[in-house]
Structure 1
């Protein structure tokens, strides 16, 4: 039986989604050390130090390829611009999360990366439902999810935000292949 290849390179016109490597740590640390980035994610600390990036990358080696997949989002001209990942905290309920560094906001890169990752999830990873959420005060992320085909469920749940140190209302969404 062959091993399941979880994080192949996925190409778009402007981006490559690929397996993160240790050499990505400095760029991850630089881009993520921004409260505007970390404050919109559940699990990212702030300040975000190089040791946080190294620990994050080390944990990826233990991913279960059937329930987790993490991609570095690399721009063909600018290099690493963010991260995107899928994980199943609950059985058969994969959830996607993503972030881009502030210099790359508002250019359509998040939508482009997410659409490509969802096509991979449907075709290669064989997922037909993916869940997501965005903090209610992060309308831009909601727009990215809608453009990628997600629908609002109507549920709003409090979610921990490590960087803010509190619970933040999260609007829940679902994508159906």
Structure 2
């Protein structure tokens, strides 16, 4: 019998991945309301307001934990630094997506959080593969994915970015356990 965790917690060397709560909404909104952060995501609007963060927290609380999980990425000294999620899509394997607040870029938090989330997905979801992608104008995200063990599939596909208000090309990647 598989036990479904509704609010899993993942610990890494410097980070804790945990369910977002109402107390996180203002910090999420402050970090996400940055055009350069939002435009590198598919689903995040810009501007990103407190109402958007509160709706995100409620949406995460109501999602089916067998098909989707989202974590606040919390640094031991800095508090929340971003968000990471794993979710079912039309692809054969679930997808990973993440963002980090601009003031925390370049510190390895995305890679560390992604590695922790992949270990969790392997143990709890019994996943042996995960998909991800990055916009072609965001090579830094590609480097994060590569450091976490993702490989390029050779596929590029258009995807609509809410913050950009238009389609942008996404390079697809896969992680295999």
Q: TM-score, normalised by structure 2?
A: 0.96
Q: Please report how far the alpha carbon of residue 19 of structure 1 lies from its aligned counterpart in structure 2 after TM superposition.
A: 1.1
Match of 1:71 in 2: 71
Q: 2: distance between equivalents of 1:2 and 1:166? A: 40
Which of structure 1's runs of 4+ aligned residues deviate more than 6 A? none
CA RMSD of aligned residues (A): 1.3
Match of 2:88 in 1: 88
Structure 2 unaligned residues grouped into runs of 5+: none
Q: Please report how far the alpha carbon of residue 91 of structure 1 lies from its aligned counterpart in structure 2 after TM superposition.
A: 6.7
Q: Please report how far the alpha carbon of residue 3 of structure 1 lies from its aligned counterpart in structure 2 after TM superposition.
A: 4.7
Match of 1:146 in 2: 146
* Contact 1:96/1:130 (8 A) holds in 2: yes
Q: Please report how far the alpha carbon of residue 51 of structure 1 lies from its aligned counterpart in structure 2 after TM superposition.
A: 0.5
Q: 2: distance between equivalents of 1:148 and 1:15? A: 15
* Contact 1:155/1:172 (8 A) holds in 2: yes
Structure 1 unaligned residues grouped into runs of 5+: none
Match of 1:170 in 2: 170
Give the total of aligned pairs.
177
Q: TM-score, normalised by structure 1?
A: 0.96
* Contact 1:150/1:173 (8 A) holds in 2: yes
Q: 2: distance between equivalents of 1:100 and 1:113? A: 10
